[in-house]
Structure 1
Amino acid sequence: MVTPNEFLYSFISPLKILFDSLRILLHNKLLFCSIFLLTTLPLSFLFFTLTISTHSLRYQIYHLQALARVVSTRVESGHVLEESRVNAISLIRTRGVFSLLSFPLSLAASVSAVHATISSFNGKHASVSSAITAVKTTWKRPSVTAIFAYTILFAFSPVPRVLAFVFPAARLPILAVGSVVEVYLMAVMSLGIVVSVAEERLGWEAVTVGSGLMRGRRVCGWVLSGLFVLVSGLINRRVEELLEGEDSISVWDRTVLICWYGLVVLLSYVITTVFYCDSRKRHAIREPQVEEDDDCEGSVLVGSSL
């Protein structure tokens, strides 16, 4: 049973995590500005380039799918669906190319930001050279964990919609619960990636440890993850609003949105890492026969199942 103090702490803890993250950023402005300029800003540029360049294609696919439902004959519907399928394949190929370009940047951003945050959290000095060294020496573990995490999220994402289609009477509750679970999964997967950078763990093992770190702090982790989803969703909505009725965005609007999104990505890495370090210090469950770890001044925690 959750006590009143634990319930209150669930709401105060995210604020403390945010405050500590901002303090770390402000105390290491040069380092995090370098990470921003070299990794998350180019990553944001690629994301917006993909979004803008595929806007017309995505709109055409939605239009064709809607048209296929109202055409009078099955033959016409088949032709419309075939055209929609061709466009969808083209969209998937384009996204695949952008994914190949963005994955190395995303990996470098996550590893360097996690390394810099952990060092700052423990009062140690971090520099651009040490962040580059961290990327060179630890990129394999987070890359495996990231692919594993994206696969799980990709597999789960259609489940609520399928269940809502099968049980239309409970459509809204199913979609609501699905959204809550998906945000929680994002929190666990993000924490797993941080674990794979900070510890000698990868894939399912890293995700399991991340899930264990969430024990007793699931509300805090869910709130932080939901905050990232909310802010990025607002940015995406703004982009769609600007693209309505036209295929391009002004240079000024595009620059502002790219910078904001790049900053949000960097903040998400820093905040998740602070949450990881704070959880490592506070968590009561420890793995047996593991010596004290210097990364976050605590031993590796026993992970629970998702």
Structure 2
Amino acid sequence: MRFTTIGAAIVDIVVARVRPVLGAKQDVDHIGLYAGGGAVNAALNMAALGGEVSIHACVGRDLEGGLIRDLLQRHHVRADIPDHTLPTGKSVVMVDESGAARAYAQRGASAWVGEQGFQGLDQADVVYVTGLSLKSQAWLEQALSSMETPTFRLVVTPGARQLSHPQALEGLWKRADLLCVNASEAARLCDESVPDADAVSVEAAESLARKLVRRPGQHVLVTLGAAGAVFFDGAQECFHAARPVTAVSTIGAGDAFASTFVHAWALGDSAQNALARATDSAAGIVQVIPANRAGLLRKL
């Protein structure tokens, strides 16, 4: 099965066990340099699951971009990643003692994915779209519109910028065979009040999933954080509870869940089994510091 991921390739500088103390300087338990970004996290996960994976992303002509390319090559991910004059995107991720993460991002080259087109999409069985800038989204829609009859299944997991402009997202949303969002994002797209994902009931998530369907045959996955996830196939809902674990870091949990679900779903697994596999994957990733299992890019 051939998968293509599209989206951000960035460097995550993860600072772990940040404590709420006063002062200009404090000791922390860990600082590490990792590859990150939705497209990278999904590509690495799908490759580890046995998929034949390629990625469309964009990095700078710098050390960090070279490190990302080398890591993807080591993990057998074919990278269509042009160099850009802007630096490789970076994110400083602060993880507190509960595992909750807060990120501070400089998008850099990652905002220019698709500037040179999206060659080879027609060779994929599944095209998995992660968060994009609005200009990258427009370039992707243009590429999709130019294709006569795409044979791949399109999965869309929108990012914050797309969710902030739902009218701009509408075209890609309608095209999607599977839309993946968390419960808060689903509420925002449905123009409803936006609670924390963990606070949304299963029944409310099922209702949101039904409202998100834009065409016959479209499927929707709504994650509920620590409460689990709901999958709607256009006819019926399927719920799976989360596996209780102690979180070390929540970064990358959504990417792990969605990409594992998509891998199983694309291979024809049942919704319940796909949700179970995705649940195990997310439970594993929250028990490690980085957003994926590829290890350190480089020790600081």
Larger Rg: 1
Question: Larger % of strand: which?
Answer: 2
Question: Larger % of helix: which?
Answer: 1
TM-score in same-fold range (> 0.5): no
The structure, 1 or 2, with the larger RCO (C-alpha pairs under 8 Å, 6+ apart) is 1
Give the TM-score of the pair, scaled to structure 1. 0.26
Give the TM-score of the pair, scaled to structure 2. 0.26
